[in-house]
Amino acid sequence: MKLSIVDQSPVPAGLTSAEALRNTIELARLAEALGYHRYWIAEHHATAAFASPAPEIMIARVAAETSAMRVGSGGVMLPHYSPMKVVEQFKVLHALYPGRIDLGLGRAPGGSPLDSFALRRDREHQPAEDDFPRQLMELLAFMNHGFRADHPFSRIELSPEMPGGPEVWMLGSSMWSAAAAAQVGLPYAFAHFIDPVPTRQAIEYYRSHFRASERLGQPVVVLALGAIAAETEDEAKRLFSSVRVFGRRIRQGVRSQIPPVEEALKELENKSGPDRPDNGEWPRIVIGEANDVRDRLIDMASVLGAEEVMVVTITHDHQARLNSYRLLARAFGLTPRPAPDPVSPS
């Protein structure tokens, strides 16, 4: 089974966003060395907790720091942008790093309604209630030279033009995204860590309704979920306390950074606010000793027929986050990649 990473570039309390982005680069280097298959970078706007509102910029840096992993967006929130501009950006990335770039597309705003309004260029007119289907088809037409001959956009020649192109994925956590991915014939990454309730239903619908396309002959599923692995279950639960408190604060309308464990444990002792309920068939975040986490991830992926598991790990301690990915790589038996040959001075 393939093992991959989706990175939200979390900002631990006491660190700056710039330091969080440097943490992303360090984690990407480690993931490359450990043998992870792909590395996706999320898009979040106007939040103190996550440092990457522009995944296309971080993709360029991460791809430059690595040589074998696929690197991509998890994902680009297409409703904010022109399809043509997104295609141009990812064509540049593909030209720089051919055969390694993924374009994961999302429909969610990646921020609050106010953030979405601020991102809009035209604020005088109400946008169409939902023009994502039109945007998606336009993006795929630009990417694959798919406009009809009588369409005005068929005369547009995008650059850089070269063989192949980014691999386009549909991302989502709903039945809508499952239906869209199936109808258009795209690989599908289900964000179980966002909403675990429709996971089985969405993936089964995608598989049963999939229509083969020029891009993809059969359905492909990636399961994205949270995980924290440690040497012991107690230590993993201790690390998870930061995520629990962060989640509680978000639900109370407090946009905070990721709190340290000691602060989180004290807050959990002193306050009785509820955790976000896990009403799904499986938990959104799997926590424990590495082999136990591995077994639970494999069991879940096997039931759902997922070819790949993509893990998002958030902890306050960056070293603990790196260690969690190390432990999972070892538990899954990933094949480490050799260090690149040093570049000789000219």
| C-alpha distances in Å from residue 241, one per residue of 266, 284, 292 | 10, 15, 19
Average pLDDT over residues 123-127: 69
Mean confidence (pLDDT) of the chain: 93
pLDDT of residue 129: 61
The band of 10, judged by pLDDT with boundaries at 50, 70 and 90, is very high
Single-letter amino acid code for the residue at 107: R
pLDDT at position 22: 98
* 195-236 tens-digit pLDDT: 999 999 999 999 999 999 988 999 999 999 999 999 999 999
CA distances from 44 to 7, 106, 129, 247, 281 (A): 11, 12, 22, 16, 27
- Tell me what pLDDT residue 343 has: 43
* pLDDT exceeds 50 at position 119: yes
Asked whether the bond before 260 is cis by omega within 30 degrees of 0, the reply is no
* Predicted confidence (pLDDT) at residue 292 exceeds the cutoff of 80: yes
> For the residues 269-276, what does the mean pLDDT come to?
71
Alpha carbons 72 and 40: distance in angstroms, whole number: 5
Buried b (16+ CB within 10 A) or exposed e, 26-44: ebbebbbbbbbbbbbbbbb
The predicted structure's pLDDT at residue 272: 56
Tell me which residue of 214, 78, 206, 73 sits closest to 136, measured CA to CA: 78
pLDDT at 97: 97
pLDDT given for residue 90 in this prediction: 98
Please give the pLDDT value at position 344.
43
In this prediction, residue 114 carries a pLDDT of 84
User: What's the mean pLDDT in 250-275?
Assistant: 87
Q: Span 259-288, mean pLDDT? A: 88
Cα angle 90, 94, 100 (rounded to 5 degrees) comes to: 115
pLDDT digits (tens, 9 = 90+) for 31-73: 999 999 999 999 999 889 999 999 999 999 999 999 999 999 9
Tokens of 20: 């969080």
Mean pLDDT across 102-121: 85
Model confidence pLDDT, tens digit, residues 160-182: 999 999 999 999 999 999 999 99
Which residues, at least 6 apart from 232, have a Cβ–Cβ distance to it below 8 Å?
A: 289
CB contact set of 63 (below 8 Å; sequence gap of 6+) = 71, 93, 96, 97, 100, 101
Strand-pair category, 188-191 with 101-106: unpaired
Q: Indicate the CATH number for domain 2-332.
A: 3.20.20.30
Distance of alpha carbon 41 from alpha carbon 93, whole angstroms: 14
∠ CA 268-269-271 to the nearest 5 degrees? 65
Q: What is the pLDDT of residues 306-345, one digit of tens each?
A: 999 999 999 999 999 999 999 999 999 999 998 765 444 4
pLDDT at 121: 76
pLDDT band for position 253 (cuts 50, 70, 90): confident
Kindly tell me if the per-residue pLDDT of 241 is higher than 70.
yes
Beta bridge partners of 229: 288
Instruction: Match 């997922």 to its residue by tokens.
Output: 306
